[in-house]
Amino acid sequence: MIDTDLEAFGEKGNGRRTYHATDCLAPTESDAENDYLVQGMTPGWGDLYDWFLPDQYIEVSGVPDGVYILETIADPDNTILEANESNNCGSAYVRLSNVASSPTAEVLGPGPSC
């Protein structure tokens, strides 16, 4: 997920979120030792993660400054049953600057179709 404006919630950027958690946080079953949850994302929802968490950043050391296409593919091996398989890819143009000293990245807008 891209950490970006979530206008559907009426707030922009990394502001405090005031929406309530969905039912996906309620166990679907429980036994004496475990709660079992069905995980996933509902259309229109998003998750925000700090960059320092595992797998939440892209290493750019040694990459020259310039404009790049950042592409992501969800379920690349098609192992998840989905109602719509055509929306598993997205891309954005990203400008990397000052990579050698103090890297910055600017999202320029949507990228080409995948």
Residue ranges covered by each domain of the chain? 1-53, 58-114
Decide which of 20 and 48 is more confident: 48
The pTM of the full predicted model, rounded to 2 decimals, is: 0.56
pLDDT digits (tens, 9 = 90+) for 9-22: 455 555 455 545 55
Neighbours of 1 (CB within 10 A): 14
The token duo for 111 is 């990228």
pLDDT band for 23, please (50, 70, 90 cuts). low
Say whether 71 sits in a helix, a strand or coil.
strand
Distance CA 75, CA 89 (A): 9
Residue 94 and residue 107 in contact, taking contact as beta carbons nearer than 8 Å: yes
